[in-house]
Amino acid sequence: MNSKGKGRKTIQERMAEEEKVRERIDEKGETWRKVYFGGGAHFRNWLAQCRELGEVWVEKVDPAGFKCFEEGGETLYRIWIKLDKDREEDESFRRG
């Protein structure tokens, strides 16, 4: 529920929630870092580049609250890159 008492969250609330999603641990205990959130042509470009860096995982995200995606019937995605020991220590993969 948003701050105005309605059932739908505002775009600002959804983006704030998404910003908190940064890493996840899978069922095997592997660490994944989110490197992209979006859709369309940008998603395809990011996916191609991320695949060059290593193992990727693509997750579909509910577009509710993102009006342009809802109205266009587009899908939102997160792209995750699997972190290995060496990559976890590489500062270029850390986010502030």
pLDDT(5) > 80: no
Q: Answer yes or no: is 6 within a domain.
A: no
**What three-state secondary structure class fits 23?**
strand
- Rounded Cα distance, 23 and 85, in Å: 15
Whether 4 is covered by a domain: the verdict is no
- pLDDT tens per residue across span 21-61: 999 999 999 999 999 999 989 999 999 999 999 999 999 99
What six digits make up the tokens of 44? 């395809």
* Residue 83: pLDDT band with limits 50, 70, 90: confident
SS (HEC) of 33-50 = EEEEEECHHHHHHHHHHH
Q: Within a domain: residue 5?
A: no
Contact predicate 79/46, CB 8 Å: yes
Tell me the residue range of the domain where 16 lies.
11-93
pLDDT of residue 2: 47
Position 91 scores a pLDDT of: 52
In single-letter form, the type of residue at position 36 comes to Y
User: Is residue 76 situated within a structural domain?
Assistant: yes
The answer to whether residue 3 sits within a structural domain is: no
Mean pLDDT of the chain: 84
Report d(CA 19, CA 85) in Å as an integer: 24
